[in-house]
């Protein structure tokens, strides 16, 4: 990396060749806000449907869609058009004033939850997922008077300072001092690699029993048995773990968890930032598990990734203006008209679509194609998913030992853009997650076609073969 750039940043960027842009990036961009997974980050110039394009026009099939923020496809005409229209009518407004779309959007979300959970509540907006999670932490503290939280190992709730305390990775806290309110992290039911070495069909939810045992005696550190007061205010969950590797828990797990939480007056906060808005084939992922959360946090795909609008829904007793008064939180851009307008259109689009049928069908087709591939390559240890949240876990030849190198190599090959499914030069955009960074977390567009799924599988196999030869 050059510390002194020889490039003049005042040059128009389209006159610069990629080498020069990368040199400028290494000099002027902080790397703190990106991951820099690949040695040579790819520069994209255009997007459409399920594809990203580079300057040469090479198409890259995107199977991650901005970490599931672009569920409805790049350049979705309907959503882009409402945003353009809003830009020409009321593009900005301080949130102390009102605009129609904000009210309609909040009402739609509340009515949806009244139907799903038989609970009245309210919606509160913010910007970016992490800020909305912070707001939910305020709601928990305000209601319970407690600031200690249970969360899952492998859980990801964002990276602002407060939220880093409940995101499992120590890596995100390491440099930033002592986190006195660091969550108590509980093993997630990751059945392919059971944290207790049990077998899924015979375990009888052993992991849940281990959690329940924490409340047996004061000496397990969470409860005062004399007055039955628990030190923890809430349990933050992702119903399907996202960054942790698109992990789908056993069907009965969350109902059992909720029962234990209710017994000890611990709130259930459901982080739907990545899985919400039909990624799993239902509006909220938690709806697969017959459980009513106390708080839901959402973001990402609410605006199809066009605007960082995020928000929180909470039960009335947690969020009514009597207990959570005006000004309890505030951000300049929180309920910005561009975001709320697109959000409202996303909800209308969902109402008019048949995602409940289409997404599980597409997901099943994708899984069946990947399982066929798994039979050919022992390095594909696990293929699973819910709706169109799919996982491919890469392993050594034994089908179990995590293989991060192979995973990185496949991702890198995909990004080179030199694959050739159907005789056409193209690339593949994959995201890597999982506890051992050996899982491809696939989140294709909801409009992905059968043909694109076939191309995706073909590209993946081609990249895998190339990586195995390395
Ligand atoms: C489940 C979950 N919660 C919270 C966040 C944080 O959202 P943001 O990156 O918008 O702050 C993410 C982001 O990936 C997420 O997947």
Beta-bridge mates of residue 247:
241
Q: What is the pLDDT of residue 34?
A: 83
Residue 297 CA, ligand 1 centroid: distance in Å: 10
Reference 19, options 37, 47, 43, 35; nearest CA is: 43
Q: What is the pLDDT of residue 6?
A: 53
- Domain 15-75+355-469's class? alpha beta
In whole angstroms, what is the distance from residue 137 CA to residue 295 CA?
10
pLDDT more than 70, % of the chain: 97
Residue 65 CA, ligand 1 centroid: distance in Å: 14
Give the closest residue (by CA) to ligand 1 atom 3: 157
Give the closest residue (by CA) to ligand 1 atom 4: 157
Residue 167 CA, ligand 1 centroid: distance in Å: 10
pLDDT tens-digit series, residues 21-41: 999 999 999 999 887 877 788
Residue 350 CA, ligand 1 centroid: distance in Å: 22
What distances in angstroms separate CA 393 from CA 230, 231, 251, 409, one per listed residue? 37, 37, 21, 14
Give the closest residue (by CA) to ligand 1 atom 7: 129
Residue 237 CA, ligand 1 centroid: distance in Å: 12
- From 137, 157, 269, give the residue whose CB has the most ligand 1 atoms within 8 Å, as the site to mutate: 157
Q: How many CA atoms lie within 13 A of 248 on its CB side?
A: 20
Q: How many CB atoms lie within 10 A of CB 251?
A: 10
Average pLDDT over residues 430-449: 98
Quick check: 253 pLDDT over 70?
yes
pLDDT band at 1 (very low <50, low <70, confident <90, very high): very low
Residue 297 in contact with residue 271, Cβ under 8 Å?
A: yes
In whole angstroms, what is the distance from residue 459 CA to residue 47 CA?
19
Beta-bridge mates of residue 223:
230
Q: Which residues contact 60 (CB under 8 A, 6 or more apart)?
A: 42, 44, 51, 52, 53, 54, 414, 415, 417, 426, 427, 428, 429
Ligand 1 pocket member 367 (CB < 6 A) = no
> How remote is the C-alpha of 315 from its chain's centroid?
23
Ligand 1 pocket member 128 (CB < 6 A) = yes
Which atom in ligand 1 lies closest to the alpha carbon of residue 160? Answer: 11
pLDDT tens-digit series, residues 121-161: 999 999 999 999 999 999 999 999 999 999 999 999 999 99
Ligand 1 pocket member 156 (CB < 6 A) = yes
Q: What is the pLDDT of residue 364?
A: 98
SS3 294: coil
In whole angstroms, what is the distance from residue 76 CA to residue 142 CA?
40
- Domain 81-352's class? alpha beta
Residue 295 in contact with residue 100, Cβ under 8 Å?
A: no
Helical (H) or strand (E) element with 393 = strand 389-394
Residue 127 CA, ligand 1 centroid: distance in Å: 11
Reference 384, options 250, 186, 285; nearest CA is: 250
Quick check: 339 pLDDT over 90?
yes
In whole angstroms, what is the distance from residue 101 CA to residue 86 CA?
10
Ligand 1 pocket member 242 (CB < 6 A) = yes
pLDDT tens-digit series, residues 48-64: 999 999 999 999 999 99
Ligand 1 pocket member 130 (CB < 6 A) = yes
Ligand 1 pocket member 67 (CB < 6 A) = yes
Quick check: 5 pLDDT over 70?
no
Residue 185 CA, ligand 1 centroid: distance in Å: 18
Residue 434 CA, ligand 1 centroid: distance in Å: 15
- From 273, 275, 303, 308, give the residue whose CB has the most ligand 1 atoms within 8 Å, as the site to mutate: 273
> How remote is the C-alpha of 145 from its chain's centroid?
29
pLDDT tens-digit series, residues 384-414: 999 999 999 999 999 999 999 999 999 999 9
Ligand 1 pocket member 47 (CB < 6 A) = no
Indicate the domain borders of the chain. 15-75+355-469, 81-352
């Amino acid at each position: 990396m050059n510390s002194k750039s020889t490039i003049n940043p005042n040059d128009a960027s389209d006159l610069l060749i990629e080498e020069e842009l990368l040199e400028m990036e290494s000099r002027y961009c902080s790397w703190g806000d990106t991951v820099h997974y690949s040695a040579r980050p790819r520069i994209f110039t255009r997007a459409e449907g399920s594809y990203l394009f580079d300057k040469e026009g090479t198409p890259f099939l995107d199977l991650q869609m901005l970490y599931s923020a672009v569920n409805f496809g790049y350049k979705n005409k309907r959503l882009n058009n409402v945003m353009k229209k809003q830009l020409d009518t009321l593009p900005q407004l301080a949130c102390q004033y009102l605009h129609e779309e904000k009210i309609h959007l909040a009402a739609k979300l509340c009515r949806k939850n009244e139907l799903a959970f038989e609970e009245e509540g309210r919606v509160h907006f913010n910007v970016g997922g992490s800020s909305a999670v912070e707001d939910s932490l305020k709601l928990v503290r305000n209601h319970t008077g407690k600031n200690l939280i249970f969360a899952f190992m492998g859980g990801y709730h964002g990276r602002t300072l407060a939220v880093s305390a409940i995101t499992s990775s120590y890596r995100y806290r390491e440099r930033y001092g002592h986190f006195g309110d660091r969550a108590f992290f509980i093993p997630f039911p990751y059945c392919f690699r059971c944290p207790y070495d049990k077998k899924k069909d015979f375990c009888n939810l052993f992991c849940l029993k281990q959690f329940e045992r924490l409340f047996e005696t004061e000496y397990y550190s969470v409860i005062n048995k004399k007055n039955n007061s628990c030190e923890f205010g809430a349990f933050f969950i992702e119903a399907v773990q996202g960054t942790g590797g698109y992990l789908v828990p056993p069907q009965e797990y969350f109902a059992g968890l909720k029962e234990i939480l209710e017994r000890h007056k611990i709130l259930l906060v459901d982080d739907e930032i990545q899985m919400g808005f039909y990624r799993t084939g239902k509006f909220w992922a938690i709806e697969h598990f017959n459980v009513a959360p106390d708080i839901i946090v959402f973001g990402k795909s609410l605006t199809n990734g066009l605007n960082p609008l995020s928000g929180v829904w909470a039960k009335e007793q947690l969020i009514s203006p009597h207990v959570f008064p005006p000004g309890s939180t505030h951000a300049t851009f929180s309920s910005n008209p561009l975001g709320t307008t697109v959000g409202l259109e996303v909800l209308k689009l969902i109402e008019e679509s048949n995602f409940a049928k289409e997404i599980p069908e597409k997901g099943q087709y994708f899984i069946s194609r990947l399982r066929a591939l798994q039979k050919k390559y022992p390095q594909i240890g696990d293929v699973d998913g819910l709706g169109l949240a799919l996982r491919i876990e890469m392993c050594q030849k034994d089908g179990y030992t995590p293989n991060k190198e192979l995973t990185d190599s496949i991702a890198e090959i995909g990004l080179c853009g030199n694959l050739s499914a159907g005789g056409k030069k193209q690339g593949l955009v994959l995201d890597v997650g999982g506890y051992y960074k050996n899982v491809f977390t696939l989140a294709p567009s909801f409009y992905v076609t059968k043909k694109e799924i076939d191309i995706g599988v073909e590209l993946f196999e081609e990249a895998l073969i190339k990586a195995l030869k390395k």
